[in-house]
Amino acid sequence: MARHPGVDYDDDGRVVGFGLTLRPTSHRFTIAGGRTVYAFCATDTFEFPAILGRPGVAESECPATGQPIRVELGLDRVISVDPPTAVVSKIRPDQPVADVRAEICNLGNFFASLEAATGWQNANPNGLLASVADDYAITRQAMIKLGWASTVQ
């Protein structure tokens, strides 16, 4: 793990983040019951309900407008999105990248709308924009196929 650039360590060399982190980032996930953890990209927050077997709320801000974005997630579906026009940006490279966080995660954000994501799309012509519901469904299925989904649901 020491060679992986996406791992977060504390000052004592302990792992505090790998996909999910205890260090504050732009993307928060509050697990039902009140504990807040953080993610390196918007889509990472969609992994947590499947992996943890707990619903919760993903929150972030649109990098273009500063508008707060709140997504309430059940175990198998998106319950609500505020604003309802929010979309998710993502990069899916054809080849391995040297630094997953810099080249993929840092570009995965919630945007308040397709219009708000126009600048991002112009800067990342190979990037994708997806609805929150579609990205959540795809991410949930990936966690199940990888065998990472909790059996406590």
Phi, psi (degrees; rounded to nearest 5) at 56: 180, -165
The yes-or-no answer on residue 41 being catalytic is yes
Residue 1 belongs to some domain of the structure = no
Residue of higher predicted confidence among 101 and 129: 129
Q: In what helix (H) or strand (E) does residue 38 lie, and over which residues does it extend?
A: strand 36-39
The yes-or-no answer on residue 44 being catalytic is yes
Residue 64 belongs to some domain of the structure = yes
Q: What value does the mean pLDDT take over residues 25-54?
A: 92
pLDDT tens figures, 98-126? 777 667 778 899 999 999 999 999 999 98
pLDDT tens figures, 42-99? 999 999 999 889 999 999 999 999 999 999 999 999 999 999 999 999 988 777 777 7
Read off the CATH number of the domain in which 24 is found.
3.30.450.410
Determine which one of 8, 10, 11, 44 is catalytic.
44
For residue 106, give its domain range: 8-145
Backbone conformation region of residue 13, classed left if phi is above 0, alpha if psi is from -120 to 50, else beta: left
Determine which one of 8, 62, 105, 135 is catalytic.
105
Q: What value does the mean pLDDT take over residues 119-143?
A: 94
Beta-carbon count within 10 A of 33 CB? 8
Residue 30 belongs to some domain of the structure = yes
Determine which one of 8, 10, 11, 41 is catalytic.
41
Residue 14 belongs to some domain of the structure = yes
Considering its fold, how many domains does the chain have in total?
A: 1
CA 145, distance to chain mean position in Å, is 18
Asked if 83 contacts 112 with a C-beta cutoff of 8 angstroms, the reply is yes
